[in-house]
Amino acid sequence: MGLFTGKKGLILGVANDFSIAWSISKKLLEEGAELGFTHLPGDKMERRVRKLADPIGAKLITPCDVQKDDDIARVFAQARETYGSLDFVLHSIAFAPIDDLKCPFVNASREGFKTAMDISVYSLAIVARHAADAMPEGGSIVTLTYFGGERVVPGYNMMGVCKAALDAAVKYLAFDLGPRKIRVNGLSAGPVKTLAASAVGDADKLAGLYEMTSPMDRNITREEVGSAGMFLLSDHASGISGEIMHVDCGYNVMGSPGRAIEKVKKLILDKVQAANPELAATLQNDDELKRL
């Protein structure tokens, strides 16, 4: 008997099998959960989600446009018809127009900002409102955020501002829904290759930076993020609400590059050694290099 045996939930935002939402879904399924899924409108996105959801026997697979109130209301009405009530909801939705995402935030357009905030932040609020009505006995809501909302991450641009707003939304929604026995939390994962991450760029560089800088000297795995998301949605996290849980091998606690400096120096010296051993020997004894 698993942690989620007899429990039912709705997953919003799976795009493909690389999605963090799917990593969490797999852990939920292993623990006995029954899952329904939404997808972006359109045949292409439906096929992607059905490829994952049909083999597990999902009873609900439906399109959802989070910019339309009526569409969200329809989705939760369908969920209640299908499952009676829900125990948890996973919100994995974010978007910014590509031109506004790629440019420095100072150059972002007003319309792009409104679109990004509507889809990436307000969608959590309205989803939580309908989810609460589908959780008469209480439940758990988890959204996916990122460290770029807490500190500047070059290249994250407008989405960093949206994630900062999303983090604040988690706290206010936790307060609003607490009396209804509904917990709201955010999961902040380190860099993983997803469809969304590919739009931001430099994902490989970020992964390398995490490996060199984090206290654990490595980056996270999808399985670790999946397990953490499953935990936050479970009864084992019954006393946790309004939190942003970091799953990043400790990267967020660092106030300096830490051991990365020595690692970079070693990489440089190794390359110089291969090309010019005499220069490498000089550099190893150079007080200026040691002070880097």
Q: Specify if 111 maps to a domain.
A: yes
Q: How far apart are CA 77 and CA 130, in angstroms?
A: 9
Q: Which pair of tokens denotes residue 125?
A: 């609020």
Co-location of 91 and 148 in the same domain: yes
Angle at 253 between CA 229 and CA 250, to 5 degrees: 45
Q: Specify if 55 maps to a domain.
A: yes
Co-location of 279 and 213 in the same domain: no
CATH number at residue 104: 3.40.50.720
Co-location of 81 and 147 in the same domain: yes
Co-location of 282 and 210 in the same domain: no
Concerning whether 156 is annotated as a catalytic residue, the answer is yes
Tokens 């440019």 correspond to what residue?
A: 103
Which uninterrupted H or E stretch holds 117? helix 110-117
The pLDDT-based confidence of 23 (bands split at 50, 70, 90) is very high
Q: Specify if 60 maps to a domain.
A: yes
More confidently predicted of 258 and 97: 97
Q: Specify if 43 maps to a domain.
A: yes
94 contacts 124 by C-beta, under 8 angstroms: no
pLDDT at residue 89, as a whole number: 98
More confidently predicted of 205 and 91: 91
Query: What does the pLDDT look like over 67-117, one tens digit per residue?
Result: 999 999 999 999 999 999 999 999 999 999 999 999 999 999 999 999 999
Q: Specify if 285 maps to a domain.
A: yes
Co-location of 246 and 272 in the same domain: no
Q: Which domain holds residue 271?
A: 260-290
More confidently predicted of 95 and 288: 95
Concerning whether 146 is annotated as a catalytic residue, the answer is yes
Given a cut of 90, is residue 162 above it in pLDDT?
Answer: yes
The pLDDT-based confidence of 203 (bands split at 50, 70, 90) is low
Co-location of 192 and 278 in the same domain: no
Co-location of 220 and 193 in the same domain: yes
Find the mean pLDDT for residues 170-175. 98
112 contacts 95 by C-beta, under 8 angstroms: no
Query: What does the pLDDT look like over 208-256, one tens digit per residue?
Result: 888 888 999 999 999 999 999 999 999 999 999 999 999 999 999 998 8
Given a cut of 60, is residue 286 above it in pLDDT?
Answer: no
Co-location of 163 and 39 in the same domain: yes
Given a cut of 80, is residue 273 above it in pLDDT?
Answer: no
The catalytically annotated residue of 83, 146, 210, 251 is: 146
Co-location of 264 and 246 in the same domain: no
Find the mean pLDDT for residues 44-50. 96
The pLDDT-based confidence of 261 (bands split at 50, 70, 90) is low
The catalytically annotated residue of 83, 122, 156, 210 is: 156
Residues with Cβ within 8 Å of residue 55, at least 6 apart in sequence: none
Counting the structural domains of the chain, the total is: 2
Distance of CA 213 to CAs 157, 166, 206, Å? 22, 26, 10
Q: Is the pTM of this model over 0.75?
A: yes
Co-location of 138 and 275 in the same domain: no
Q: Specify if 1 maps to a domain.
A: no
Co-location of 146 and 280 in the same domain: no
Find the mean pLDDT for residues 254-279. 70
